[in-house]
Amino acid sequence: MVLVSAMHITSGIFVNDAEPGLHRDIEEWLLKLIPEGHDYYHHRTGEVNGDAHLRNLLIGHQVVIPVTDGKLDLGTWQKVFYAEFDGQRSKRLVIKVMGE
């Protein structure tokens, strides 16, 4: 098994199809559900990325993927993606391989 984790609370990791139209659908869906520029309570702390925190809750910050014979065991069209919701800070990923 491999764990892929975004080590920041304003980004996410997900598994889906690598089709550009779908990526645009996901982006528009997130913007519709969690619009930018809204008066989020978090913004009253001096931050302006409340929407990014909420998008992280929807997408999630990590995935666990099976590994078979040293390769990610994903479906035919599946890929692992990093989603950036707040480009203001440096971010890092942690990838941990567990098992034999």
* Domains of the chain, start order: 2-97 (2.60.120.460)
Query: How far does the chain reach from its first CA to its final CA, in angstroms?
Result: 9
pLDDT of residue 88: 76
Q: Do 85 and 36 meet the contact criterion of CB atoms below 8 Å apart?
A: no
Q: Tabulate helix, strand, coil % of the chain (nearest 5).
A: 30, 30, 40
Grouping H, G, I as helix, E, B as strand and the rest as coil, residue 11 is strand
| Residue 90 vs residue 1, higher pLDDT | 1
pLDDT band at 89, cuts 50/70/90? Answer: confident
Regarding pTM above 0.85, the answer is yes
